Amino acid sequence: MAETAVAEFEAHRARLFGIAYRMLGSASEAEDIVQEAYLRWERADRSAMLAPGPWLAKVVTNLSLNELTSARVRRERYVGQWLPEPVLTATSGADGRAGAGVGGAAGATPPLGPLETAEQRDSVSFALLVLLERLTPPERAVFVLREAFAYPHREIAEVLEVSEANSRQLYRRAKQAVHGSALAARTASAGPTARTTPTASAAPTAAAAPTAAVDGRSGSDQQPERERERWVGLVETFVTAAREGDLARLERLLADDVVSYADGGGQVGTARRPILGPSKVARYLAGGLTKFAAGVDLVPYEVNGGPALLALAEGQLLGVVSLEVADGRIAELRISVNPDKLAYAARQLAVCRPVG
């Protein structure tokens, strides 16, 4: 009986982790939420449940809503720029084809669920997760359940214990806020003041930038494998130019409105405000590699469904650089080096290590 209960819960684990992670932007907190959901599942009268899936989704969503309140207070005090925790979504190095399980095991269900389409990958992109920070907790819950998991409003209303009309209203507000934030970010990056007026780094919305789900950068009509082939080549060229200090070549790989964000959490020295423009970003990256990356391997990898680099030294994960590619050039970089935020990805690597 106990084994059956465990097996039934495990069948829902990826979806539960995916809900909590999208709600919180934190893999470690999502793990805690899923573990608490399991404890409640063990204690519950499962014979009275019509369907385990909706019951578990409701538990995880409500636990995530409770956690969001304290999480936002912590982020307001965060040192420097806040970025979501990276999650590896591939088990092989450059090709990024195999799925990584919750613990990183090859062949297991990917921790964020299937990411077989551009829309599914966009739903866990760093860009979208940062934009979701602008939403109220109920708006975020509705947006995640509707956009990422295609829940009907009837089921969302039951999960949140609101009316179906209220669920639709929350969803409309959330979509308007996300689209509005993305449009504002694109407009700002195109304007003359974008290079001189960085966003406030201490605020939870500091790293806001347009998401592929909103601005169509990823190209949802393209096949995932074709997209991967394109970004792997671009990323490898980018690494070579950065290591060689070839600023001219590096600048050519960066979009005119490129932005670099970095999250060291006050534990690792990073730029505490966004770096804007190809020349400044190129110098920043080349200088950082020259100063800090001696003996560090930079491995192309798929993180949060998109192109990224893993910084590895003697088998240890030192950082993750998530990249957003637009029109064949790198439009955004998000550099995660806060050790606390790399713990989940490091555990994944301990089980399934990429080939450098």
DSSP 25-51: S-HHHHHHHHHHHHHHHHHS-GGG-S-
Helical (H) or strand (E) element with 257: strand 254-263
Q: In the chain, what is the greatest distance between 2 CA atoms, to the nearest angstrom? A: 66
How confident is the prediction for the chain on average, in pLDDT? 81
The pLDDT of residue 97: 36
Domain ranges of the chain: 2-351
> CA dist 207 to 188, 262, 332, Å?
13, 9, 10
| Confidence class for position 209, pLDDT limits 50, 70, 90 | very low
The pLDDT of residue 188: 52
The pLDDT of residue 348: 92
User: Cα separation of 190 and 194, whole Å?
Assistant: 7
- 155-194 pLDDT tens trace: 999 999 999 999 999 999 999 999 887 666 555 555 443 3
Least confident window among 107-116, 150-159, 186-195: 186-195
Residue 144 pLDDT exceeds 70: yes
The pLDDT of residue 35: 96
Range among 38-47, 72-81, 97-106, 256-265 rated most confident: 256-265
User: Cα separation of 139 and 136, whole Å?
Assistant: 5
| Confidence class for position 293, pLDDT limits 50, 70, 90 | low
Range among 63-72, 195-204, 216-225 rated most confident: 63-72
Higher pLDDT, 328 or 187: 328
Higher pLDDT, 245 or 188: 245
Per-residue pLDDT averaged across 188-206, rounded? 38
The pLDDT of residue 220: 41
User: Cα separation of 96 and 103, whole Å?
Assistant: 17
Residue 195 pLDDT exceeds 50: no
Query: Which tokens belong to 97?
Result: 């084809």
The pLDDT of residue 55: 93
Among 138, 148, 199, CA closest to 174: 138
Asked if residues 267 and 342 have their Cβ atoms less than 8 Å apart, the reply is: no
Per-residue pLDDT averaged across 27-56, rounded? 91
- 262-276 pLDDT tens trace: 999 888 888 889 999
Give 145's DSSP letter: I
The pLDDT of residue 315: 84
Percent of all residues in the chain with a pLDDT value above 70, rounded to a whole number: 79
| Confidence class for position 218, pLDDT limits 50, 70, 90 | very low
Residue 62 pLDDT exceeds 90: yes
Among 24, 217, 249, CA closest to 121: 217
Least confident window among 29-38, 89-98, 162-171, 309-318: 89-98
Q: Tell me the three-class secondary structure of 258-298, residue by residue.
A: EEEEEECCCCCCCCCCCEECHHHHHHHHHHHHHHHCCCCEE
